[in-house]
Amino acid sequence: MSIDMKDKGVEPLITININGKYVLGVYQGKLSKYDLLLKYKQKDTSKRSGWTRIRTPKHIHWAVDAIIKMHYEKTETTRFIEFLIDEWDKNIKPINTEAERTALLDINKLIIEVNNEALKYPKLANKGEYSIKFLYLIAKLLMIQEKTNYSTAFMFRDLLVALKENKDIFKIVSTATHNGR
């Protein structure tokens, strides 16, 4: 299935199809040489094209979906968030070379990683707006994007910690929208 992900005439670096329900385009961003800009379309049968317009996922969208998942499956969602915090602390690194970006954006490796990780959270599969595969892929790429553009970044990690600690909705929204620390 080929979905047009050109945005304002710009082709993505890669396009990833997740479950035939989401198509994610990863573009060259403008904040740094290796900045990644994420945009996606979601299946929508009410649209003539069958897809939404191109959207940019924001931290707040990610957080709202995690809160919904937490409501239905607190233990499994907390485990997922703890995994992401651990990834942030130990494995997520900024992109510093073209070779690193090329390796990161290997579609086959990304899809295998996303599929394998999603299998660990089966109760989250049909909870919330986003599939766990899509949520994980977005989280991973947002973390890499943040660290690439500002290597001492902390915002996404702070958001994950706020979710894990069940902070009040004001704190979570403030963190997700860059309005509070």
How many whole angstroms separate alpha carbon 56 and alpha carbon 54?
A: 7
At 170 the pLDDT is: 86
pLDDT in tens, the chain (181 residues): 567 888 888 899 999 999 889 999 999 999 999 999 999 999 999 998 899 999 999 889 999 999 999 999 999 999 999 999 999 999 999 999 999 999 999 989 999 999 999 999 999 988 999 999 999 999 999 999 999 988 777 889 999 999 999 888 888 888 888 754 4
Q: CA-CA distances (angstroms) from residue 30 to 16, 27, 33, 104, 141?
A: 21, 10, 7, 18, 16
- For helices 132-149 and 59-72, the axis angle rounded to 10 degrees is 140
Report which residue type is found at 18: I
How many whole angstroms separate alpha carbon 105 and alpha carbon 165?
A: 32
At 180 the pLDDT is: 43
How many whole angstroms separate alpha carbon 144 and alpha carbon 121?
A: 22
Q: Name the pTM for this structure.
A: 0.89
DSSP the chain: ------BTTBPPSEEEEETTTEEEEEEE-SSSTT-EEEEEEEB-TTSTTSBPPPB---HHHHHHHHHHHHHH-HHHHHHHHHHHHHHHHHT-----SHHHHHHHT-HHHHHHHHHHHHTT-GGGTTSSSS-HHHHHHHHHHHHHHHHHH-TT--HHHHHHHHHHTT--HHHHHHHHTTS--
At 2 the pLDDT is: 66
